Structure 1
Amino acid sequence: MKRMKKILALLLASVMVLGLAACGGDNTPAEDTDAGTKEPATTTETSANDIPDSMTSEDGKYELAFVTDVGQLKDKSFNEGTWNGVKLYASKNDMSYKYYQPANGDQATDDDRYEAMKAAVDGGATVVVCAGFLQEAALKQAAIDYPDTKFIFVDGYPINGDDNQPLANVAGIAFKEEQSGYFAGYAAVMEGYTKLGFSGGGGGTNPACCRYGYGFVQGANAAAAEKDVQVEMNYSWEYGSSFSASPELQTMANGWYQSGTEVIFACGGSMFQSITAAASANDGAVIGVDVDQSTQSDTVVTSAMKELSDAVEWSLAKVYDDTFSEIGGVATSLGVEEDAVGLPTDSWSLTNYTVEQYEEMYQKVKDGTLAVDADYNNLEQEYSNLTLKIS
């Protein structure tokens, strides 16, 4: 794959009839009155970056809403990737949209998150997209209070109501990050790195980051075994609880690089900024997370990705084609089977590990020949070719 496939592209195409004229006019070729002289009609794919983050609706109502996770909206990672899906679906279907950031930033409470969801519903939202597992408690209350509103819980899972039954108006959309992490760890060691680092967000309580990290360890160990080498990995949740950049995190990463670490998997939103700053100062390498972060720093050799934007578009489409019941109240987990996780082969700077080798590995996971363990409670085990240093 020269580029990761778009998640469930055929399903998305089936609902695009809702907005064929939404992005600047009719795409139907004009009648040919001068056969043989006209150039074929062309269309240009809209980029999320071309869509403004703020818009003003004519009636003051906003149909699609996004409630952010901790960190910045434009974090070049989880929040931004999710928001891009909302904007793209809105743009393609001529819908109004708005984002809401809970009060108190990184110190936001469940009440702060609930108030953001309430503001979205009061503002006219038919669908509210909520990013991050920290939304659970507020989302449960909002879904109970507003049963006619659909909620999409990204990096989430089914939420039970007071009757202990799943709330049918909440769709929990998760990813198999362990697969993407595995690909990144395997690629790093095949590239030639033997001293690795993992710096994770959420303080070790974020399931998505935990899956990324555990997959990264498994992939690195597998590649080391294949090459018959021993590798070391620093593995830490310190300074990542808020997913934010900080001097303390940069100092830790700087110490790792100075002690011999060659590449660090920066797994946590704006934490990326601290890791890349330390890498730049020490001629180190970085692996990005969630989206392709290669454009953000020349220290990035690849990124462990999940197709956040496409998954959000797919989920929103189910609201409007009346198939939301397929994902509401049930667990949805997207992985290689849906081409929803992987590495960006068209932008990575790996030179020893080839795209062909990656594609072969990807196919093994896809056809079940290779299984990646998702139970990160198994992290602290003995590995054949990897020494894990947890802090």
Structure 2
Amino acid sequence: MKYMLTYDLMETIRNTNQWMGATARAFAAYPAMSMTTNPMVEWIGAWGEVAERSFARMVAKPDWGIPNVTTEDGKDHSVRIMKLVEKPFGDLIHFKVPGRTPRKRRVLLVAPMSGHYATLLRKTVISLLPDCEVFITDWHNARDIPVSAGKFDVEDYTLYLMDFMKHLGSDLHVIAVCQPVPLALAATAYLAELDPAAQPRTLTLIGGPVDPEANHTDVTDFGRSVTMGQLEETMIQQVGFKHPGVGRMVYPGLLQLASFISMNADTHMTAFQNQILKVAKGEAADHDKHNMFYDEYLAVMDMTAEFYLSTVERIFKGRDIARNDFVVDGHKVDIGKITTVAVKIVEGEDDDISAPGQCLAALDLLTGLPASKKAQHLERGAGHYGIFAGSSWRNNIRPLVLKFIDENSPAAPAKLKRKPANQNTAA
């Protein structure tokens, strides 16, 4: 499948479905169609509206859409998105709130590079903005990056994180979500050796595969059941002439989306059937629950082939992080070198992507870190999405993370400093 033809074929299918949706919607909107009472016309128009929007979203990067922030002066302040560091494969951005006193908590959100844009963490950003200065890793769509920019694999990702942490300084609290959890752990450990002063104060790891073998899921089972040759042959394609990254080998976003949907095909089918019915009845809205979710879920980005393949081979199959045998730029990183950074693990009881135990394995690797600087929390009844963006995050996990940050900050009250870091550990 490693040809431009297959890449362009998928885009052609997507584009054709978008056109068919637009055509059906326009057909049903003709005034002459109102002369008949046939409900099929409404159904055609409703299907067209849902289809056009859905297939159009697959190639559009979502807007951040961050609302104004109300501060202690009672005024609403707009949020400016500022690029602090620009790199070929990703930027470090700051959600700056002009006119308000800078917050003491400085948080770097490490977004996944797993098919969706960093905007997947929009709700996480919004929830943290009132209390924190928020920064995030904003990864680029691989199809828009020229081949001349070179490769980008798990080692490059780790080096990017180290550069971002160095730029922001040591008075920093890092929160890594899902896929980058093991790489954020490795980046911190490497900094502990090369530049200890650049380490963050805390590292919160949320639902990531530090040790995929700790608790199997469909994701880990798939990683074990296929060979690297099979993955390279069936998942990797070459970007076509339409994009700046022409010729680059990638794991296409559209192919990733097909995999995402196949995992819960019945659920997605029911959701779209219900939405078509609502549109036909005039009950749907531009920003209703369905559209808000799928506008983000369907927006996918290509991943460089080397990043995808090295993630499967080194994180899932070889378990390099779990075995403390991860090499970056020719140097073996020792997780045990982390001795001062407080680490908190957050997992969801019902997480079917990174099951409980996979992220918790990080604590066993931190052999040089005192027990008082280790913490863990298992959120009962929460799935993967809920532990960083849902009600579980807002109501339970977010307050615990902020408390953990305060307990391990130099300006924390004495009574908080005396508490062990695992005070919030769930039984």
TM-score range, shorter chain: 0.3 to 0.5
TM-score, normalization by structure 1 = 0.34
**TM-score, with structure 2 as normaliser:** 0.32
Choose 1 or 2 for highest CA Rg.
Answer: 2
